[in-house]
Chain A
Amino acid sequence: MTSPLTTTPSPIGATRPADAPSSAAPARTTRRSSRRRELGACGALMTPFFVLLVTVFLIPVGTAVWLSFFSDDQPGLGFGPEHTVFVGLRSYTAVLTDPTFLSSLGTVALYCVIYIPLMVVSALALALLLDSGVVRLRASAQLGLFLPHAVPGIIAALIWLYLYTPGLSPVIDLLGKADITIDFLGLHTVLPSIVNIALWSNLGYNMVVFYAALQAVPREVIEASVVDGAGPVRTALQVKTPLVRPSIVMVAMFTLIFALQLFTEPMLLGQASPVINSRFSPSMYIYDAAFTRNNYGLAAAASVVLLICTIALSYGVTRWTNRATAPEEDAR
């Protein structure tokens, strides 16, 4: 094939402008056909993604909703063929009155309440400190902080599980020498222990997101605030932080979405801690209902509840941040 700019792919029915440049009707056809050609290309570029969207997203979500309203009922005494019947909200009633599901929701709620503010505040604080210009070896510090992002979640959980395990852990050993004994996998400590794993894994990544946003803040704005007599702390909190608000919202959203899916860390810690049962988090509940108890209706209903919680909370976060920004824009 020759250079793309000299070959003219001629779709069927297309009139080349050179054929009849003087008459108006062919020109309109040309415009229409080029528009059709554009739409054709647009479709070709989008089709692979939308095929995936339909097959691995829309149909599964639809199936989950459908499954939550139906159940495989065995007629009579369990004899005869199984058949699927409409059960209405029965699965929802079952899941919402199941204390183990409610406690899994409570667990993940508590996890979010501890984890999300801790993550956003520490990542932002580190980014502001790095942006302040007084940190030595800034590039190396950033790389060091970012490193855990390259450690897969399951391996981060493994490392910390070993650091939490008495007999394997140098941390517990060290604390023991100072006469401190902590059971990191106990009833009240296991959730903070999980928070720690998630924080360790994602702190550096979010710090880099904030740092990149801070770098984009115009230097004049910061100089102006310094001229106005604001100290470095005030500049950081009252000038820089409001300017990176979009990043804060984005980090909070993604942290929330991933936090609600809590699965890998408790699954792994559950191998060593009796405190974590197989329905510890909503995701674990769904897994347990679907693949251990084979109760698809229950699993689907729990999935839909989790989905609705995710959508409602994400919507809440965007609404809340929009409202929080509005008066500020009015003031300008």
Chain B
Amino acid sequence: MSATSTTTRTATTLRPRLLGRSVVNLVVGISVLYTLLPVLWLVLAASKDRDALSGSDVLSLNHFSFVQNLKDLFAMDGGLYGRWYGNSLLYAVLGAALGALVSIACGYAFDKYRFAHKEKLFGLVLAAVMVPQTVLALPLYLMASGTGLVNTFWSVFIPVLFNPFGVYLGRIFSQGYVPDEVLEAARVDGAGELTTYFRVALRMLGPGLVTVFLFQLTAIWNNFFLPMVMLSDQDLYPVSLGLYTWNSSATVSPEYYPVVIMGSLLAVLPLILAFALLQRFWKSGLTAGSVK
């Protein structure tokens, strides 16, 4: 390529470039269709009755029954879905908020303080990121049944607070957002260490906190294995486990199909909402995560 003369190069690169441009747009366009169409199918299928579903007929305008499906969903099994939705919100929003605060505080301490064996401890935190959930599930179950916590809110809530990756992010954010000079200034002024953290540093760590919160919110909302192991009381189920159970009933009693689909659509909304509202923050969080 480098051997060709300048004149022929300008002539030949113009056409491939135009061609390349449309190929690039075509590839990206197809990829976007690949990611969007299944979601679109979910929206359309949620608004159709059972006849349209089983006839693979979701694209037609007939059989429209969005409102009816919604009513059926919340009436099914004595309004169990509303319960599940509330549980999921409680596990996810409360768990993510508390978990993010705990992780960020620890990451900040790793960044700003010197103490013995610091990097070894940090290595332990990073190692915890790697350990599969399935490895922890059985011992956690045995511990929960030993303490009488099994099949309670706490058996799912406490383990999801643990977020080692949040500590890693917290350390990076603390390096980036909280200059050491600010802490020095606060110390010279005689402010206590914890007061400085809560009044000054935490405010600067805001975007990091939101990022960790979002990551954890997604993880807890997705959580399926742990509730499946811990919970037998349907009233405590999160949406994910509830829909799984309903879907297994649908193979025998097909009246569950429309409610499972409608239930899935509603279960997608909170995360989409959270990502849309907090876009500014998590984008910066992603960059921070990939720096190292």
Contact = CB atoms under 8 A, between A and B. Distances in A.
Interface of A: 4-9, 34, 37-42, 44-46, 48-50, 52-53, 55-57, 59-64, 67, 122, 125-126, 129-130, 132, 134-136, 141, 144-156, 158-163, 167-170, 172-173, 200, 203-204, 208-209, 212-213, 215-216, 229, 231-232, 244, 246-247, 250, 257, 260-261, 263-264, 267-268, 271-272, 282-283, 286-287, 290-291, 296, 299-300, 303-304, 306-307, 310-311, 314
A111 B210 CA distance: 34
A145 B159 contact: no
Given A48-B105, A67-B138, A154 B58 contact: no
Contact of A5 (B159, B189, B289): B189
B138 A296 contact: yes
Contacts of B162: 52-53, 56-57
Nearest to B288: A212
B247 A158 contact: yes
B194 A44 contact: yes
Contacts of A200: 34-35, 38
Given A5-B190, A264-B225, A155 B264 contact: yes
Contacts of B36: 144, 147
Contact of A4 (B13, B24, B191, B244): B191
Contact of A306 (B20, B28, B56, B134): B134
Interface in B265-292: 267-268, 271-272, 274-275, 283, 286-287, 289-292
Interface of B: 1-2, 13, 17, 20-21, 24-25, 27-29, 31-32, 34-36, 38-39, 41-42, 45, 53-54, 56, 58-59, 102-103, 105-106, 108-110, 112-113, 115, 124-125, 127-143, 158-159, 161-162, 164, 167, 186-187, 189-197, 199-200, 218, 221-222, 224-225, 228-229, 239-240, 243-244, 247-248, 251, 257, 260-261, 264, 267-268, 271-272, 274-275, 283, 286-287, 289-292
Contacts of A62: 139
A8 B186 CA distance: 11
B172 to A, nearest CB: 12
Given A134-B24, A152-B221, A307 B132 contact: yes
Contacts of B267: 152, 155
The main secondary structure of chain A at its interface with chain B is helix
Nearest to A64: B139
Contacts of B21: 134
Given A41-B192, A45-B194, A307-B131, 5 more contacts: A7-B195, A141-B29, A168-B257, A213-B287, A282-B134
The main secondary structure of chain B at its interface with chain A is helix
A307 B137 CA distance: 13
Nearest to B286: A212
Contacts of B193: 37-38, 40-42
A143 B240 CA distance: 24
Given A53-B128, A162-B45, A163-B41, A4 B164 contact: no
Contacts of A41: 109, 113, 192-194, 197
A156 B243 CA distance: 12
Top 9 closest A-B pairs, CB basis? A41-B193, A60-B139, A63-B139, A49-B106, A9-B192, A42-B113, A283-B134, A45-B109, A150-B271
A159 B41 contact: yes
A150 B215 CA distance: 11
A120 B290 CA distance: 14
Contacts of B272: 147, 150
